[in-house]
Amino acid sequence: MQAIQAATGDAARALGVDDTLGTLVPGRAADLVAVDGDPSVRIGDLQSVKVVIKGGRTVAENGLVLV
């Protein structure tokens, strides 16, 4: 979980953009990666990407890039 936080909320805080990015909070911009599994328990589950949403649009699904 520390690695995920370092790559998201902590990175946004370090860049000074944590008022708009870095966490899933209503009203903030967000890109989302959905995986099969629980990367907070097993970091390798990040390799099983099911959906990528960027700027509100699905850009990849089940290994296929849609853009």
Instruction: Give the H or E element holding residue 30.
Output: none
Buried b (16+ CB within 10 A) or exposed e, 19-58: eebbeeeeeeebeeeeeeeebeeeeeeeeeeeebeeeeee
pLDDT of residue 45: 94
pLDDT of residue 10: 94
Q: Residue 18: is it exposed, middle or buried by C-beta count within 10 angstroms (0-12/13-18/19+)?
A: middle
Note if the pTM is more than 0.85.
Answer: no
pLDDT single digits (tens) 13-57: 999 999 988 888 888 888 899 999 999 999 999 999 999 998 889
pLDDT bin (cut points 50, 70, 90) of residue 58 is very high
Residue 67 confidence (pLDDT) above 80 = no
